[in-house]
Amino acid sequence: MPYDRSMCDGTSHQALHIGRLYKSFNGFRAVNDISFSIAHGQTVGLLGGNGAGKTTTIAMIVGLLTPSAGRIEMLGRSMPRDRQAIATRINFSSPYVELPHRLTVRENLIVYGHLYGLRRPKRKIDSLLADLDLEPLADRPAGRLSAGQKTRVALAKALINDPELLLLDEPTASLDPDTADWLRSYLERYQARSGAAILLASHNMAEVERLCHHVLMMRRGDIVDRGSPLDLRERYDRGSLEEVFLDIARDRRAEAVA
């Protein structure tokens, strides 16, 4: 059954709420007082150059890093207090998090299937292997995969529990254009069917314009602008989101919006 966002009441509309989140390392503030929310059925893009704070933000949300200060609420629960209740309802993928190299693709997915408490892991794994064209790789050790193949396996792992909140860090990294396009369509279908909320960090501006309802622009740990891709293009008087990204990354905001 396709997801209907009107089914959400006012108290459950937000799948993720971030309030005044900070993270510092030895006095360096990597994430600086950021706040935002994602509704069920919505995709939000988290954009910025290298070192802007995107990956650190995602790592705090999924519990890989402890915030220095701030509030994280997911699916009506608070992190880290309700971590156990939240864990089976969310998932993430990142090219910076490797799966165990000696385990095969299938073995890795079996492990994660049990970790997420799937009642019929084999059925779900077989479906994902077929959907993501991973059947020929199922019995190959993860350490012997190409970068693009690892990206597809990471997405299979991220979808194994049908997450209500999905966090994606460069989900089409190292994929050829045809496979990347197919994968974006797959994510669109998954969201339309499930009503999942998605936080997407990407350097691919065309991908962001296609998938994201709302965009957060980060620079040096701050959210410096936000809006829909169309709103941002019009505000900066630019023909593409990539041009907006360059204005912000090079700190030409004042000139762009003058």
Q: Domain check: are 10 and 84 in the same one?
A: yes
Residues 200 and 140 in one domain: no
Number of other residues whose CB lies within 10 A of the CB of residue 88: 14
> What is the domain-level CATH number for residue 179?
3.40.50.300
Per-residue pLDDT of the chain (258 residues; tens, 9 = 90+): 454 444 333 345 799 999 999 999 988 899 999 999 999 999 999 999 888 999 899 999 988 899 999 999 999 999 888 888 999 999 999 877 889 999 999 999 999 999 999 988 999 999 999 999 999 999 999 999 999 899 999 999 999 999 999 999 999 988 999 999 999 999 999 999 999 999 999 989 999 999 999 999 999 999 999 999 999 999 999 999 999 999 988 876 545 554
pTM of structure:
0.89
Domain that residue 56 falls in: 1-89+163-221
- Nearest Cα residue to 132 out of 113, 112, 154: 154
Same domain, 28 and 120: no
Backbone phi and psi for residue 106, each to the nearest 5 degrees, phi listed first: -65, -45
Q: Which of 120, 136, 156 is the last residue of a domain?
A: 156
